[in-house]
Structure 1
Amino acid sequence: MENTISYFSRTDYTIIQQSEALAAYGGKISDLREQLLEFFNESIDAKAVVVGNSMGGLLALELAALIPEKVEAIVASGAPGMGSMNLDIGPPKKSNKEESKEWFRDLKKQLFVDPSCVSEQQLESLSEFFSNRRSFLNMIPLAKESDRYDATTILPKIECPVLLLWGDQDKVSPINPWENVPELNSKIEIEMIKDSGHSPMIEKPKEYWKSIEGFLKSTRIQAM
């Protein structure tokens, strides 16, 4: 993620980055939604471009539907909401550091075309985070709830431009169920990033940023 932020910071855009994984903030989508709504209503004065991956992408779409006066555009990748996500390895069995590290080693093979894009230092950091019992316990119900979520209920309500920016080899949340989404809302467009899995912002940060930059220019969204 650091590489992506470095691309963003070379622009005139003001960047607000979430500091921790979503599981640190709650174990229900409704909890996360309310916290984000509170943050936007209290802290964001102008319309924002909201960028999110996986569950973050789904929450970005929800924000656009719920507070259109605060959202200029959305970029979502690998979002749930069109059927079950497929991790293919199940949740980690224990909330301790070594178990978490081993689980993430298996997980990154599912998330990335090239697992080497995640360093041992990043793996250590992730393992440390999910060895926290509260975050560990939050992750499991969030995953189950996202599998039941029906994104088609919110997509027609979105009024701003939306870019669905997907890795072309996303095994966890494949693009296929989303391909007809532009029929629900003409403001939604789809773009694929070649040779990327579930998290293109980590695996292909340069291509990811260029796609976002092109999207913002095409929709005439100015830096704030």
Structure 2
Amino acid sequence: MELRRQHQQGYEFVDEGQGPVLLLLHGLFGALSNWHDVVREFATDHRVIIPLLPVYDMPLTQAGVPGLVAYVEGFVAAVGLPPSFIVLGNSLGGHIALVYTLKNASRVSCLVLTGSSGLFEDSMGGSFPKRGDYAYVKERVGYTFYDPTVATQELVDEVFDVTNSNSKCLRIIAIARSAQRHNLSKELAKITVPVLLVWGLNDTITPPPVAHEFARLLPHAELRFLDHCCHAPMMERPVGFNAYLRRFLRTTEATSALVA
């Protein structure tokens, strides 16, 4: 299925399906298409919403985790989401999801994190892509995946374009530094909603020990690993990722129904 983009009050987003809301947040070099297989699976019985985060063009003074959280808060208000919904985040999107939950605890019914930053991340394999070097950019983008061929030419071209734009690079660097500064280890105990952690067993950017640390610090977390998988499980292992997500949602939604 093709993801149809919508525009409302200055926000660009995908809005597919009906039912309980799944709010999906992509990472620093991510895109709406990163969640394609989640949309295809869950739009049959959920309302799946993906805002395009302004990581490349937001005001430089706001380029950071707090600015992106504020953007999500504005988006939620503009689109008129229900009082409570499910939040999923990959990489930087997971970091934003965590801070959003800390600031808006009553709005988040449960949380799903995959390859999330917030404790530690080795951004782009430890170095920022070199400008004008397509082969280097291709190698670094491939580093995000267990199977480098998952890094399509379209994705590599997009990152290459970013690295050759001074204004985009400045924002990416500012956001990456902000994420490193905003360590959440002392805050995670405050998140009391159910949390599903789905991690690539071969993640080189937020390695498995990071997932175990999230599981230790979050009071109600369950951790699942996918083998032969790196930093974006919903892209590399969509069947396994969706199976874990489906099982988690059935459990949490059934529990919510009993409480109600």
- TM-score, normalising length: structure 2: 0.74
- Given that 2:130 and 2:163 are in contact with CA atoms closer than 8 Å, whether structure 1 keeps it comes out as no
User: Within 1, Cα distance between the matches of 2:176 and 2:221?
Assistant: 25
Taking the TM superposition and a 5 Å limit, the aligned residue runs for 1:99-138 are: 99=133, 101-138=134-171
2:186 corresponds to 1:149: no
Tell me, in whole angstroms, the C-alpha distance in 2 between the residues paired with 1:131 and 1:49: 36
Identify which of 33, 37, 41 aligns with 1:3: 37
> How many residues align structurally?
218
Deviation per CA, 1:87-138, whole angstroms, max 9, x where unpaired?
A: 33511333xxx54x44431113321110111222332234335544332211
| Higher RCO structure, 1 or 2 (CA under 8 Å, sep 6+) | 1
Question: Which of the pair is proportionally richer in strand?
Answer: 2
2:109 alignment counterpart: 72
Percent of paired sites with the same residue: 22
How far is 1:52 from its partner? 0.9
Deviations, residues 142-197 of structure 1 (Å, cap 9, x unaligned): 22222233221221111211111111110011120341444433311211111100
Match of 1:48 among 75, 85, 100: 85
Q: Which residue of 2 aligns with 1:197?
A: 230
Unaligned segments of structure 1, at least 5 residues: none
**Counterpart in 2 of 1:57?**
94
TM-score scaled by length of structure 1 = 0.85
The two structures, once aligned, show a CA RMSD in angstroms of: 2.4
Change (3 A) 1:157 1:209: same
Q: 1:21 to 1:202 in 2, by over 3 A?
A: farther
Any gaps of 5 or more consecutive residues in structure 2?
1-33
